[in-house]
Structure formats: C-alpha cells, structure tokens
Amino acid sequence: MKSAYETPALRRGASILDVVASSPTPPAAAFLSKELGLPKSTTHGLLLTMQELGLLKKATDGTYQIGPKIMHWAHAFLNQTNLVQEFQNAMSENNDLDDHTITLSILDGNNVVYLSCRNSRRPLGFTFKMGMHLPAAFTATGKIMLAALEDEEIHQRFDQDWPEKLTSRSVQDINQLLVEIQQVRESGISFDNGQIQDGMFCVGVAIRDFSNQVVAGLALSLIESEATENNISRVINTLRKISLDLSERLGAQRTSACQDG
C-alpha cells in the first residue's frame, strides 16, 4: 500500500540507482529513461541532482556509475550491522520453532565456530555453546557454507587434514563429503543425520550478506525420532523464511537471498 506521504522523485531516484547498480555495463540517460518509463526531461533532472549529491558519477562517454556517497552509506551500514545481534533479533521475533535448538555459526578453517544459539527447553542430548568448534565436514552449517566453495578449495582444506569421526555416521572421507556437498548445492539445504551426536538430526541453511556471499550458517537441531518427513518439511520452510529475513537484515537482495531455496 502506498503511503500518503510518498515522494515520487525519491522513488524514481532509487529506481535509477537500482538499474545503474545492476547493469553489466554503465547505462546512459536514454537507456535509463526507456528502462524506467520516465520522460527524458525528468530523467535528466534526476540524474543532475543525483550527480550533485554524489549518488552517481558521469563518465566522459555520458554513462553513469554509482557515486562515492553510496559507498559512504554502505560502510555506515556495515559498521552498524551485527550478525549476532540480527540473529537474536530474528529469533525473538519468530516463535514458530521455539521447541527446537537453533544455532548460528561461521567457518573457521576446517571447523565451524558457534557465534550464538538458542537452546531448546527440551533435552537434546547435546548442548551448543558460543565459541564451540566442531568439524565443518560433519555439521549442517558447515556443509551449507562449504557448498559455497569450489571443489578445489574443499580438497585443499581436507585432503591432508580430515577430521576424526565423532560418530559412526560421520562422513567417511572427502569423496563422500563432495557427494553431500553437491546435494546441498542442488537443494539449498544441508543435513547432519547423527554425524556429530547420535540421536540428533540437524537441518542447515545459508545466510548471505550485501555482497551475496555466504557468510554464516543457520541450523535447527531436533531429536532423531522427531525427524519425520512432515516435520522436516515444516522445519525447512520456516528455516528458509528466517534465513531470508536474516540475509535481508545483512543487506542481501531478496532475489539473492532466495538462491538457496
């Protein structure tokens, strides 16, 4: 619904920035006018004002690029964005999965390190703690983050440094890991079926930032007996919504944040 206080010029200026930022080559005024369905005079007026404000810069060939003022705002956004705080905010605003443990982690070498967690009130048989390290090859969050890397880099990480198994279900070797990684890339979802703790089942999704890079993993853990097809489907749908929300809080475009599912 449009606001009663909507400013058309501001909306048009934002649309121009979107087109300039997403164009593979710097666009000219004529292209912007046609792309946005704006009169040429309106487009030129907006472009002039945006140049004066440092939002755009004009090249000698008449094309436009993002201006330095945008970078100033981008740095301010990054300085004011805290991954852990945004995770905690997202958790406090969503109670659909209160009965399950949810964790946030990042890659640290060949391990994942847990930055934050919301442990379930129900016994899981395993307690996640901030600062805890676990092998990335066995965890749901580890696999979702490894899936963003090239196979060559995964080989470089693990060929000479394979982790000691934690359970009988832990991934056996790098070849088996790569099979799982390919499945993760195709589905946008990762699983830990008792690979770090017997009787525990985990589902993982990726968190992306403003640059569309995977910067963290989000996982939900439940007791293996709860891991029915219907329950897993419900959990995945909710996790994807939370990951999309969290990615957008970090500046990811909605289309980019949706790439994993």
Q: What is the pLDDT of residues 112-155, one digit of tens each?
A: 989 888 877 766 667 788 888 899 999 999 999 999 999 999 99
pLDDT of 78 strictly over 80 = no
The pTM (predicted TM-score) of the whole model is 0.69
* Of 134, 160, 229, 149, the residue nearest 184 (C-alpha): 149
pLDDT in tens, 192-204: 999 999 999 999 9
pLDDT of 250 strictly over 90 = no
Find tokens 């991934």 and name the residue.
Answer: 171
- Euclidean distance between the first and final Cα of the chain, in Å? 28
Domain with CATH 1.10.10.10 in the chain: 8-76
**CATH number 3.40.50.800 is the correct assignment for the domain at 81-260:** no
- Residue 1 neighbours by CB distance under 10 Å: 3
Domain with CATH 3.30.450.40 in the chain: 81-260
Residues 6+ apart with CB under 8 A from 124: 101, 200, 221, 222, 223
pLDDT value at position 1? 45
pLDDT of 71 strictly over 70 = yes
Cα 189 to the chain's mean position, in Å? 13
pLDDT confidence band for 191 (50 / 70 / 90): very high
CATH topology for the 8-76 domain: Arc Repressor Mutant, subunit A (1.10.10)
User: Picking from 74-83, 187-196, 198-207, which range would have the lowest pLDDT averaged per residue?
Assistant: 74-83
pLDDT in tens, 33-67: 999 999 999 999 999 999 999 999 999 999 999 99
Mean pLDDT computed over 72-100 = 77
pLDDT value at position 89? 87
pLDDT of 99 strictly over 50 = yes
